[in-house]
Structure 1
Amino acid sequence: MSPDPSREGPPPLETPERLLRRLDWQVVRRLDGLLQGDHRTLFRGGGVDVADLREYVAGDDLRHLDWNVTARLDTPYVRRYLEDREVTAWLLVDHSSSMAFGRPGRTKDVVAAELALVLAQVLSRGGNPIGLMVLGDEPGVVEEVVPPAAGRRQVLRLALALRGSHRRQDAVRRPVGASVGRTDLGALLRTAAAVVRRRALVVVVSDFSSRDGWQRPLARLARRHDVVALRVRDPRERELPLAGVLHLEDAETGEQVVVDTADPVLRARLLELAEAEQATLEETARSAGVLLHTVDTDEDLVGALVRVAGLRARTRTPAGGGP
């Protein structure tokens, strides 16, 4: 649900060049210090060359089991891979209507774009090719595909594409009560599975507010690629501000309700539903072989990305055998 869209429009967007400069100063340079310059710890390639074999230990990724050796020795063994120093990355960004929720200037789609561009800047420093796919509101359609390329010019191209998508969403703001239908995140994941043929790093940035059907495409992607899921969430989706009686509207279905934000029963129920939704999403992603990371719109991006890097390092070390 979101406030009545008859409110004032969003603040003007930064130019892509200015946005990249700001993110470089505010986020990327701070990451340099905190990660001691080793950006590969943030998002490393999974590797395709086998380094050696070792006995399976609890916590290893079952996808790395060597079934031939396991059958021959009657003991489970896993492959250890050489880490890729260069990896093609694809950024899958959700810009559907539900992503427009949040306080002015820090809506979920703005934060999603910033996350994608910070990752693009980090990865481009290592010479990694980066591509982009953007999901809008048209059912089953990916509105923007930017093929992978390396370098700062490519990062600027991605910033222009994300800005263009944001402008299109603002230009087609629908009347109060109108419905655009539920986001189909599965369409974005299916497109990625069809387009991205060679093993790659795939980063999905979305609020995961979608119709059913995205779970199987996510699992399919995870079987072939190294998939990172970043859920962007606004704190007001868990706890309403104390603002009296409000008219709320679902950004995608157009459903409207009137609520008393001071009602303690309503506030407790909203929190309960939000926590249940989060637990369900985390379990669904885990079942697909993907760890879901959540970033709040009021969260410092540096702290959020360092946290993601730490979780990835801990979950990848047993199977990869790396540091």
Structure 2
Amino acid sequence: IDWNVTARFNAPFVKEFIEERDLTLFIVFDVSSSNEFGFKRSKKEIGYDIAASLMFAALRNNDRVGLCLFTSEVELFIPPGKGKKHTLKLLRELIYYEPKNKNTDIRTALSYLNKIIKKRSIVFIISDFLSPDFERPLKQLKNKHDVILVEIADMREAHIPDIGYAFLEDQETGEQMLVDTSDLGFRERYTALVKAKRDAFLARMKRIGVDIIQVNTSEPFYKPLQRFFKMRERRVRG
């Protein structure tokens, strides 16, 4: 984690956002295998930076923060607490936790949170959101809490480079497929398919009314977060 960047980022933006709401904060983090992917840095590593920024913002504001780690099931839940000792505990669990499962099912985590979170809270869900069909429990959670999706993607997932024959592997199932990446038609069809799936996802989230922070592993993590919090500030001020 780049602590210097984290410290510079969260002071003027996240802290103000949490102060305005004065609510308990939950970090809901996808630790499934698909988040191990990344060209320069993995999606999981970028997620660590984002989660740390939010946690330290809550610490500075003396707010309560809780943590939920999930794959195809809820693997770890730490109830909200406050203070430096609690924050460091959350970070240790987040960074050093070894998942029991590889697959993702966001529905399981959302259904769990719908049952366990009673007080209105800010819920940041950090994931690549490759898991399908989780709109219903997400809508239920959004109706009770302020839910923000932090979608982390890698450019190589949408644009395959021309490197000849190569194996594409599903990191959750281990299934492999041999493809000819020098085939321009294949690359164009692949890119179009990924774009169509992403556009459909964004459209579904827009219908539900949740905000999405789109983060790419190729750019500094704090830039899209800064844009988001500036947008939220303008929205609050009208």
TM-score of the alignment, normalized to the shorter chain, above 0.5? yes
Map 1:1-323 to 2 at 5 A.
19=1, 22-23=2-3, 25-32=4-11, 37=12, 39-41=14-16, 43-44=17-18, 83-84=20-21, 86-103=22-39, 106-136=41-71, 139=72, 141-165=73-97, 168-169=98-99, 182-212=103-133, 214-314=134-234, 316-317=235-236, 322=237
What displacement does 1:271 show?
A: 1.6
Number of aligned residue pairs: 238
What is the SS of the residue equivalent to 1:202? strand
Q: Unpaired runs of 5+ in structure 1?
A: 1-18, 46-82, 174-179
Aligned to 1:132, the other structure's residue is in SS state strand
Deviation, 1:287, is 1.7
Distance 1:39 1:206, change over 3 A: closer
> What are structure 2's unaligned runs of at least 5 residues?
none
Report the TM-score, using the length of structure 1 for normalisation.
0.68
1:300 & 1:255 partners in 2: Cα distance? 31
Contact 2:39 2:156 in 1 (8 A): no
SS at match of 1:262: coil
State the partner residue of 1:59. Answer: none
Alpha-carbon distance, 1:228 to partner = 0.6
Return the alpha-carbon distance in structure 2 between the equivalents of residues 223 and 30 of structure 1. Answer: 29
3-state SS of paired residue (2:219) = coil
Compared CA separation, residues 93 and 287, structure 1 to 2 (3 A): same
Report if aligned partners of 1:228, 1:291 keep a CA contact under 8 Å in 2.
Answer: yes
* CA spacing shift, 1:31–1:39, aligned 2, 3 Å: closer
Runs of 4+ residues over 4 Å off in structure 1 = none
Question: Does the aligned pair in 2 maintain the 1:93–1:133 contact within 8 Å?
Answer: yes
TM-score by length of 2: 0.91
Higher fraction of helix:
2
Q: Is the 8 A contact 2:122 2:145 kept in 1?
A: yes
**Which amino acid in the other structure matches residue 193 of structure 1?**
N
The answer as to whether partners of 2:163 and 2:181 remain within 8 angstroms in 1 is yes
The alignment partner of 1:116 has SS state of helix
Q: Please give the alpha-carbon distance, in whole angstroms, between the structure 1 residues aligned to 2:218 and 2:121.
A: 30
Please state how far the C-alpha of 1:38 moved relative to its aligned partner.
5.4
Contact residue 154 and residue 218 of structure 2 kept, 8 A: yes
CA–CA separation in structure 2 for the residues paired with 1:154 and 1:275: 40
Paired residues of 1:115 and 1:301 also in contact (CA < 8 A): yes
Which residue identity does 2:70 align to in structure 1?
L
CA contact (8 A) 1:117 1:158 kept: no
Distance change in 2, residues 1:133/1:31 (3 Å) = closer
Q: Deviations over 1:145-196 (max 9, x none)?
A: 111111222221111111232xx24xx79xxxxxx5x521011111111111
* 8 Å CA contact 1:93, 1:113 repeated in 2: no
Offset at 1:134?
0.3
Q: Matched residues, percent identical?
A: 31
- Asked whether the 8 Å contact 2:26–2:66 carries over to 1, the reply is yes
RMSD: 2.1
- Contact 1:216–1:288 (8 Å) recurs in 2: no
**What amino acid does structure 2 have at the position aligned with 1:244?**
G
**Distance of aligned partners of 1:113 and 1:38 in 2 relative to their CA distance in 1, 3 Å threshold:** closer
